[in-house]
Amino acid sequence: METHMAPMPTDKASYLFAQGFGKAGIQHDEYYYHPQAGIDERNEIGKTIMKQVIERNEMLQKASIDTSTGGAGTAGIAMFPVYVDPTIVDQTRFLTPLVELVPRRANRGLTHDYNKITAKGGAKWKLDDASQLEDTDTYSRVSVAIKFGYSVGRVTGPAIAGMAHYKNAMQLDLAVKTQALKELEEDTIINGDVGTYATEFDGLIQVISTSTTNLSNRKVTLDDIDTELSTTFNNKGMVTLCVTDSATHFYIKGLLRQYQRQPAPPSEGLPFGIPGSFNYTGVNFIKSQFMPTSSASRRILFLDMRYIYMAVLQDVTYEELAKTNDSNKYMLKVYEALVVTFEGAMSQIYGIA
């Protein structure tokens, strides 16, 4: 091959040459194309560059680590750890609206005692200088036993250490046990029955007995509701809250839509925004997940909240229990009872289809 000594290129020219022709084996002092000398290496240069490009791509494709490196592990590919979302979804949780709505009153002693007036002697119109006989009123004493609710937890030492990078094990268990105690309270406020479970207090369904209406497995109507509100008013009540199940709640809403496009929301804000609440003739209607839901057992409770409260000897309290193993055992406890001082001012419709 005939060569010709060319001037030395600049540094930039050398770099560009090395990135192209130099990689194909052509030196600075060689001609790669010289028609007079019969030199034409362009075809070979193209083949060489193409080969280098293909080899480079193959090298990049043959990665030493990819998403299948290490084979299958316990929960996926062995070389890639699993990161669990720290949010734990409680699929067992119930809403507890009545726990929030029922007032709580401090109590002393193991019973809550109160006096009530059951009859008045009344006042009278009389003649001038008439004899003045006393008007006798009747009083009565009522005693409600305080009941004791518990939620017990235990977390082992290895669990506390093993979960430390993910969750505080004690805090997690405490939150779950607290919610369980509040759900027990909501359930008992509605369905409590001392006759069946002596350790609990009577709930609203058991307590309200003077005014009740059995629909005998048919749908409720607005006339039924109006009649019940009239009955409670005539019995010296002033209903401010109605509680029912979800199906009945939506059925009543459907009845109202025949007269108004959107049932009126409560005029006063309810705690934590109870979803779907509406107001009818000045009474707020809410739903509870603890109300009976099967056909013919559904009901509506008509409540005068002036006469309902929780008598609380001791509110929810945390207390550690004896430590005998490598674990932390504790209990949450509450001493309380539902008190309804005038159930005759309230009512319930039951037997709803």
Bridge partner list, 331: 152, 319
pTM of the model: 0.77
pLDDT in tens, 213-268: 999 999 999 999 999 999 999 999 999 999 999 999 999 999 998 776 667 777 66
Q: Closest by alpha carbon to 149, among 330, 286, 315, 35?
A: 315
- Contact by Cβ (8 Å): 232, 345: yes
Cα angle, residue 343 at apex, residues 267 and 120 outer, rounded to 5°: 110
pLDDT in tens, 28-78: 556 666 667 777 777 877 787 778 777 777 666 666 777 888 888 778 888
| Helical H segments across 216-334, by residue range | 222-234, 246-257
CA-to-CA distance for 299 and 256, rounded, in angstroms?
18
- Contact by Cβ (8 Å): 305, 204: no
Residue 5 pLDDT: 45
- pLDDT band of residue 97 (cuts 50, 70, 90) is very high
Residue 26 pLDDT: 63
Residue 346 pLDDT: 97
Q: Going along the chain, which residue ranges are E strands?
A: 33-34, 39-40, 72-73, 76-77, 104-106, 111-119, 138-145, 147-156, 212-218, 241-244, 278-280, 283-287, 298-303, 308-320, 327-340, 347-352
Residue 55 pLDDT: 74
- Contact by Cβ (8 Å): 277, 284: yes
- Please state the rounded mean pLDDT for residues 321-343: 97
